[in-house]
Amino acid sequence: MARSSAERDWQAAFTRWLRPFLAALQHEAQRRWAPVYLEGLLGPGERKSVAPMAAHVAPADVQQLHHFVATSPWATAPLERVLAQTAQRLVGGPAAVLIIDDTALPKQGRHSVGVARQYCGALGKTANCQTLVSLTLARGEVPVPLALRLYLPREWTEEQRRAQRVGVPPGVTFQTKAALALAELDRVRAAGVTFGAVLADAGYGTSAAFRQALAARGLTWAVGVLRTQKVYPATVRLHPPRAQLTGRPPQHLVPSTRSVPAATMIAALGQRAFRRLVWRRGTKGLLAAEFAAVRVRVADGPLRARAQHQPGALAWLVCERRAGGEQKYYLTNHPARTSLLTLARTIKARWVCEQAHQQMKEELGLDHYEGRSWRGLHHHVLLSMIAFAFLQHWRLTHPAGGKKISPSPRPAASPHAARRAAGAPGRHPRSARPMSALSRTAGRAA
């Protein structure tokens, strides 16, 4: 069947765009099968595990496609470096944000690498799942995921035989999600990724060590915290303790006032402190909430008597009050003169990573991989990110109106919607014909 000019253009653009990634692979067989696997992720089908994808793109080569993703020993680091550099060109710079989060992949059984009973955001409850720590670079409303690293619960790192069966590399030890995120943060910065702020939800933001690690790297950050997070007024002072006649002499200076929960600090501001702010236009209209902010000293300094922490660094404590009355709390180390609108817009920029996770699952089969191994899972999620990055590249350079656009605050289309808007084949995301021409240009025999 003859292909339309739009389809030929789309496939030619993909072939050109993929060249740096293929150059990062060491062997010809890997360069041959990578485009085929990506074709499967980008093509039609409700299920993006190996067998259904092969039925569309390589019906006679199921085993070869499975070998490429599950057992072929190609290193992920070179492709991750190319992905980071690609994301930097697409959306990086001072106006970008780097979003740290995690996403869950529900699983049956207990044999897939990293699977455990843990909180599963996809289901909204504790369930059997794998958890991937994610880093997403975004500007405006264009996200490009850079990292998806498997979190291994302690039960996996403490049972060496179990870990060996699924190919967990020797020397991998238990790391918290925050530690994994910081390691990935350092990796992408070393690859040249730049951004204006780091964002994270309360799952990471409640950790004082995590916040302090970001600050130690000289980064601006804005993170969620619990309503119980202790803070001091910005005017708190430290003074020497009173002399004692008996007992051990006091070891710490004494704050001039006690720390209080974040909710108490905000409540003391009164209703007039809240302002209704619009942070962006959504698909159903303006998105708005009420915000209040106050400068504080976070109670995350040295631990003193009775489990009380000394005042730490200055920060903004921000409260978001939603239409239903729910209140969310955030800390950020933005400068003292930062406007409330800037604080609100920065905090709310985090939502695009969740959109990216959802689109990668629904459109590219991020959570469809059925293998059990460490190598296969990380190969699959990396290829899913590469496929998503190409779709964002296409969206930015080939919009429906025909004019090149730049990342800007506007509703982000889904990857398949971006393809349809740009004239890619198929009237529905699941009806597009597979891109067999890409595999032929990559060296696969037709």
pLDDT at 361: 95
- In sequence order, the β-bridge partners of residue 309 are 303
CB atoms closer than 10 angstroms to residue 233: 18
Radius of gyration of the chain (CA): 24
Q: Is the CB of residue 99 less than 8 Å from the CB of residue 136?
A: yes
Which amino acid is present at 410?
A: R
Q: What is the dihedral of CA 72, 74, 77, 83, to 10 degrees?
A: -90
pLDDT at 381: 97
pLDDT at 140: 87
- In sequence order, the β-bridge partners of residue 277 are 289
Q: pLDDT tens for residues 373-424? A: 999 999 999 999 999 999 999 989 876 645 554 554 333 333 343 443 333 3
Interatomic CA distance for residues 220 and 203, integer angstroms: 18
Interatomic CA distance for residues 176 and 152, integer angstroms: 9
| 444 pLDDT more than 90 | no
| 433 pLDDT more than 60 | no
Residue 44 vs residue 335, higher pLDDT: 335
Average pLDDT of the residues of the chain: 86
| 247 pLDDT more than 90 | no
Q: Is the CB of residue 136 less than 8 Å from the CB of residue 412?
A: no
| 91 pLDDT more than 60 | yes
Q: Is the CB of residue 102 less than 8 Å from the CB of residue 131?
A: yes
pLDDT at 416: 41
Using alpha carbons, select from 301, 419, 415, 296 the residue that is nearest to residue 355: 415
Those residues whose C-beta lies under 8 Å from the C-beta of residue 1, and which sit 6 or more positions away, are: 433
pLDDT at 240: 78
pLDDT at 431: 26
pLDDT at 92: 97
pLDDT at 250: 58
**Helix, strand or coil, per DSSP, at residue 277:** strand
* pTM score, whole prediction: 0.87
pLDDT band at 323 (very low <50, low <70, confident <90, very high): confident
Interval 232-243 mean pLDDT: 84
Interatomic CA distance for residues 438 and 50, integer angstroms: 18
Q: Which of 56-60, 236-240, 349-353 ranks highest by mean pLDDT?
A: 349-353
Give percent above pLDDT 90 in the chain.
68
pLDDT at 440: 30
Residue 424 vs residue 214, higher pLDDT: 214
Range of weakest confidence among 163-172, 243-252, 314-323: 243-252
Exposed e or buried b per residue across 167-192, where buried means at least 16 C-beta atoms within 10 angstroms of its C-beta: bbeeeeeebebbbbbbebbebbeebe
Q: Which of 7-21, 84-98, 157-171, 234-248 ranks highest by mean pLDDT?
A: 84-98
Interval 267-292 mean pLDDT: 89
pLDDT at 153: 95
Range of weakest confidence among 105-109, 196-200, 301-305, 366-370: 301-305
Interval 147-175 mean pLDDT: 94
